[in-house]
């Protein structure tokens, strides 16, 4: 069997164009332009790349993009003051503090200082609680993107066995909550899980969010299962020349694609969906802030 490739790049472009259409209507019908503020502390090169592409795509869908770039030695008090000012700015509907923060700043404190309704990353403790109790919340972008692709590919997820490998707060746990919300039977696996291959083999849906290159081989996959690979790992690629690197996921794509029914590639799978869902969340936050219904198909 050769798996169907779930094209995250195309899917994300489609989500962004749906968001852009909603933004046009919001402006025409209500005079509202969604505003997304991104706060970057320090000069971490990877974070700078993310922030640049977030800003570019935010503007492309017709939203206002505001960037606050703060020195690496910014104090917690000053950072909290920036967040507070954004919380109180009615032109800002979404706030994202780029992680990781420099070590002297308390990430939990900073994230929990964002107004929950503007927390477009879905990391605020209130949003975590709302998601866990099945209430309307802001949902973390990467798991939301995975859910959208799974729903699109499978239709109903009800009754399916899902295994999420990884239990981080930003991917594994919210992913599991979303799958449970769609009535999957969910197992969360992690570094202490016994007989991981057997656990994964039971799954109709496998979501790998581990951070270990090509850890899941094809012989762990149930024939026909849908495999969603969240991992982004940079490994040496001597075949491309000296010192060259390439991106691979947490699943061994070549062997898994022989067995799975469908699979997301790396790159070009889950990755592009994360920013698309950030924009979808900003749109959702804008609608809710103005008493309008959240856009259908773009939320959990
Ligand atoms: P974390 O490091 O926070 O969590 C990794 C999880 O994997 C932990 O729960 C850990 O278990 C588990 N794990 C580690 N080793 C094993 C093992 N041998 N067997 C089973 N489980 C194991 O990572 P994140 O969740 O933040 O990210 C996971 C991957 O997803 C990374 O590659 C990251 O780059 C990528 N990512 C991609 C995004 C995208 O936009 N596509 C967004 C966010 C992340 P334990 O808790 O027991 O230690």
Three-state DSSP at 165 gives strand
69 is a catalytic site residue: no
Could you say which of 54, 118, 173, 222 is catalytic? 54
Could you say which of 18, 118, 119, 121 is catalytic? 121
The residue-averaged pLDDT of 240-256 equals 96
- Are residue 113 and residue 146 in the same domain, yes or no? no
Unique residue bearing structure tokens 């799958």: 179
**pTM of the shown model:** 0.97
| CA 167 / ligand 1 centre spacing (Å) | 7
What percent of the chain stands above pLDDT 70? 100
221-241 core/surface letters (b: 16 or more CB in 10 A; e: else)? bbeebbbbbbbbbeeeeeeee
Cβ of 209 less than 6 Å from ligand 1: yes
| CA 248 / ligand 1 centre spacing (Å) | 14
The residue-averaged pLDDT of 271-295 equals 97
- Are residue 158 and residue 206 in the same domain, yes or no? yes
- Are residue 209 and residue 96 in the same domain, yes or no? no
Q: Which atom of ligand 1 is nearest to the CA of 269?
A: 41
281-292 per-position pLDDT tens digit: 999 999 999 999
The residue-averaged pLDDT of 48-69 equals 97
The residue-averaged pLDDT of 1-27 equals 96
195-238 per-position pLDDT tens digit: 999 999 999 999 999 999 999 999 999 999 999 999 999 999 99
The residue-averaged pLDDT of 40-53 equals 95
N-term to C-term CA, the chain: 31
In a domain, 252, yes or no: yes
The confidence score (pLDDT) of residue 91 equals 98
What CATH number does the domain containing 232 carry? 3.40.50.720
The residue-averaged pLDDT of 66-91 equals 98
The confidence score (pLDDT) of residue 58 equals 98
Beta carbons within 8 Å of 88's beta carbon, 6+ residues apart: none
The residue-averaged pLDDT of 135-163 equals 97
- Are residue 236 and residue 160 in the same domain, yes or no? yes
- Note down the domain range covering 107: 30-117
Would you tell me how many other CB atoms lie within 10 Å of the CB of residue 156? 9
- Are residue 105 and residue 184 in the same domain, yes or no? no
- Which of these, 281, 17, 58, 289, lies nearest to 174 by C-alpha position? 281
- Are residue 189 and residue 97 in the same domain, yes or no? no
Could you say which of 98, 173, 177, 252 is catalytic? 98
91-126 per-position pLDDT tens digit: 999 999 999 999 999 999 999 999 999 999 999 999
- Are residue 101 and residue 34 in the same domain, yes or no? yes
Average pLDDT, the chain: 97
The confidence score (pLDDT) of residue 1 equals 59
Cβ of 142 less than 6 Å from ligand 1: yes
Residue 103 and residue 118: Cα distance in Å, rounded?
24
Cβ of 271 less than 6 Å from ligand 1: yes
204 is a catalytic site residue: no
In a domain, 16, yes or no: no
- Indicate the angle between helix axes 125-132 and 172-181, nearest 10 degrees: 30
Cβ of 249 less than 6 Å from ligand 1: no
Q: Which atom of ligand 1 is nearest to the CA of 231?
A: 32
What CATH number does the domain containing 82 carry? 3.40.50.10860
- Are residue 95 and residue 216 in the same domain, yes or no? no
């Amino acid at each position: 069997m050769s798996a169907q490739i779930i094209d995250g790049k195309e899917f994300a472009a489609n989500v962004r164009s749906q968001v852009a259409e909603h933004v046009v209507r919001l402006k025409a019908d209500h005079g509202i332009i969604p505003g997304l503020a991104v706060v970057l502390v320090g000069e971490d090169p990877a974070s700078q790349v993310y922030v640049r592409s977030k800003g570019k795509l935010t503007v492309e869908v017709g939203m206002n993009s505001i960037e606050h770039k703060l020195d690496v030695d910014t104090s917690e008090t000053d950072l909290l003051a920036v967040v507070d000012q954004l919380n109180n700015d009615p032109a800002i509907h979404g706030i994202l503090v780029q992680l990781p923060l420099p070590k002297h700043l308390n990430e939990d404190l900073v994230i929990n200082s964002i107004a929950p309704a503007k927390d477009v990353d879905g990391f605020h403790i209130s949003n975590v609680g709302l998601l866990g109790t099945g209430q309307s919340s802001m949902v973390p972008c990467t798991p939301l993107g995975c859910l959208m692709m799974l729903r699109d590919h499978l239709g109903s997820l009800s009754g399916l066995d899902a295994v999420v490998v990884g239990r981080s707060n930003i991917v594994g746990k919210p992913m599991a909550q979303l799958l449970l919300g769609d009535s999957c039977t969910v197992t969360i696996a992690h570094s202490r899980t016994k007989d991981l291959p057997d656990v994964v083999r039971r799954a109709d849906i496998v979501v790998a969010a581990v951070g270990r290159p090509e850890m899941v081989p094809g012989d762990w996959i149930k024939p026909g299962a849908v495999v969603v690979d969240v991992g982004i790992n940079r490994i040496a690629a001597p075949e491309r020349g000296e010192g060259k690197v390439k991106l691979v996921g947490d699943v061994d794509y070549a062997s898994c694609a022989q067995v799975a029914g469908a699979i997301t590639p790396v790159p070009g799978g889950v990755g592009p969906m994360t920013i698309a869902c950030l924009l979808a969340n900003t749109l959702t936050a804008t609608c809710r802030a103005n008493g309008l219904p959240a856009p259908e198909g773009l939320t959990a």
